């Protein structure tokens, strides 16, 4: 990482300090700027290999202009939500790290976007080599037309170039597959990310309406995670997130989709699953986590989860209503003492204390 030169654009002291610590640990050159206008001047006058930028310092249209001006430079955006920026960010050279974040998660995201940048550069180089090979093939075609006597020699060249094309195409296929996996996977927990979850829940919901099938959604929150993080540190908190993600995946069926919704929240899409089946799966998942011991520096500790269930039944006839139903049910589960499963209902109000706790 010594060859990396990183520009950090952030005015929040805690994240600036954490990112600076990470850069020093990775032996990266870096600059920190709190004023977005000065940061843009740095981008014009200096050469950076990566930009880490707090979204709240920019306007959505401004983000698009900055990325268009620096098309080969990867950006890792940080903030509490993508919000209005999601339609203005170049997805092929961007990543998003939600606040608050730990040192280990930030390092994983940093390494992943650098890998993505290097893979894209490798792809471009392979494409250039592929074009060169194709040009060579065309040239040899012309030679074939001019000289029948060289037919055997041309056949040999055809074989060599064909082998090169096959090898290059396979390398491109593997590289593109790797990029596709990176684009839909949460770097810390190795489950699907929020963007893939939104794509899939939309697709599954439309399919369930078309086929008149049930669709259920579990919204899951790790109980008292902030206190656990504060008491044991972000590294232990990250270990808890990975451990819970593995348990959620192990409790699901083949076609279920487990995703990190954000922070300590996860979501599970249950296709062709009615409310009764969803309750069985949710309770099995809750019990599995409750009976699992999470290791920490003091030995091990029990962690519990709260689960809200939404099902496209009984008046829940839109995707927003389904997500809202599961989300509100989750907060009812937390309001009722946590470590429990609660069903969502149409037009169910948000518990007052839990609603204010989100701000």
CA 333 to chain CA mean position, Å:
27
Q: Determine the Cα–Cα distance for residues 262 and 237; give it in Å rounded to an integer.
A: 14
Closest CA to 316 of 293, 342, 344, 290: 344
SS3 179: helix
- State residue 248's pLDDT score: 95
Q: What's the rounded Cα separation, in Å, for the pair 6 and 52? A: 7
Which residues partner with 299 through β-bridges? Answer: 296
The structure tokens listed for 171 are: 């390398």
DSSP letter string, 117-147: HHHHHHHHHHHHHHHHHHHHHHHHHHHHHH-
Q: What is the pLDDT of residues 52-76, one digit of tens each?
A: 999 888 888 888 888 888 888 899 9
pLDDT tens, position by position, 129-140: 888 888 888 888
Cβ–Cβ contacts within 10 Å for residue 190, how many?
14
CB 264 within 8 A of CB 252: no
Cα gap 110→116, rounded to integer Å: 10
% of the chain beyond a pLDDT of 90: 42
- Determine contact, residues 190/141, Cβ cutoff 8 Å: no
pLDDT at 128 over 80: yes
Overall average pLDDT of the 241-245 stretch: 93
The whole-model pTM stands at: 0.59
pLDDT at position 264 is 94
pLDDT tens sequence across 89-107: 877 778 888 888 888 988 9
Render pLDDT for 210-225 as a digit per residue (tens, 0 to 9): 999 999 999 999 999 9
Cβ count within 10 A of residue 2: 8
Q: Is 264 a catalytic residue?
A: yes
Q: Whole-number mean pLDDT of the chain?
A: 86
The string of pLDDT tens digits covering residues 304-329 is 999 999 999 877 889 999 999 999 99
Q: What integer is the mean pLDDT of 260-282?
A: 95
Distance CA 131, CA 295 (A): 53
Residue 179 has pLDDT above 80, yes or no: no
Quote the CA–CA distance of 113 and 156 in Å, as a whole number: 42
Residue 112 CA to residue 133 CA, distance in Å, equals 31
- Is residue 280 predicted with pLDDT exceeding 80? yes
Tokens representing 181? 């996996």
DSSP H helices, 185-274, are 194-211, 225-232, 234-250
2-49 pLDDT, tens digit per residue, is 788 999 999 999 999 999 999 999 999 999 999 989 988 888 888 888
- Residue in 95, 119, 118 with CA at minimum distance from that of residue 107: 95
Q: How far apart are CA 265 and CA 270, in angstroms?
A: 17
Tell me the average pLDDT across 192-197: 94
Which one of the listed residues 33, 104, 105, 264 is annotated catalytic?
264
- Least trusted range by pLDDT, from 105-109, 188-192, 299-303, 341-345: 299-303
């Amino acid at each position: 990482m010594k060859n990396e030169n990183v520009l950090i654009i952030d005015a929040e002291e805690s994240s600036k300090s954490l990112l600076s610590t990470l850069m020093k640990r990775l032996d990266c050159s870096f600059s920190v700027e709190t004023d977005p206008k000065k940061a843009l001047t740095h981008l014009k006058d200096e050469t950076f290999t990566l930009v880490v930028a707090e979204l709240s310092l920019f306007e959505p249209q401004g983000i698009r202009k900055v990325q268009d001006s620096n098309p080969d430079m990867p950006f890792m955006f940080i903030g509490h939500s993508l919000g209005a920026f999601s339609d203005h960010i170049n997805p092929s050279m961007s990543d998003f790290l939600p606040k608050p974040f730990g040192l280990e998660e930030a390092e994983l995201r940093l390494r992943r976007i650098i890998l993505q940048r290097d893979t894209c550069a490798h792809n471009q180089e392979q494409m250039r080599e592929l074009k060169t090979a194709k040009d060579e093939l065309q040239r040899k075609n012309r030679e074939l037309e001019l000289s029948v006597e060289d037919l055997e020699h041309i056949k040999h060249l055809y074989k060599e170039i064909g082998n090169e094309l096959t090898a290059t195409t396979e390398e491109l296929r593997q590289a593109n597959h790797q990029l596709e996996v990176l684009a839909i996977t949460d770097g810390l927990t190795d489950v699907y990310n929020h963007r893939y979850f939104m794509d899939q829940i939309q697709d599954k919901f439309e399919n369930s309406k078309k086929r008149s099938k049930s669709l259920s959604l579990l919204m899951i929150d790790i109980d008292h995670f902030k206190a656990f993080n504060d008491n044991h540190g972000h590294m232990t908190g990250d270990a808890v997130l990975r451990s819970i993600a593995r348990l959620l995946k192990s409790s699901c069926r083949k076609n279920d989709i487990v995703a990190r919704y954000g922070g300590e929240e996860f979501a599970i899409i249950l296709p062709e699953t009615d409310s009764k089946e969803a309750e069985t799966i949710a309770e099995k998942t809750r019990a599995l986590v409750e009976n699992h011991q999470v290791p920490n520096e003091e030995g091990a500790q029990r962690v519990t989860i709260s689960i809200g269930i939404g099902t496209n039944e009984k008046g829940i006839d839109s995707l927003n209503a389904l997500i809202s139903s599961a989300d509100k049910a989750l907060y009812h589960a937390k309001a009722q003492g946590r470590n429990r499963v609660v069903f969502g209902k149409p037009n169910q109000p948000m518990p007052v204390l839990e609603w204010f706790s989100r701000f």
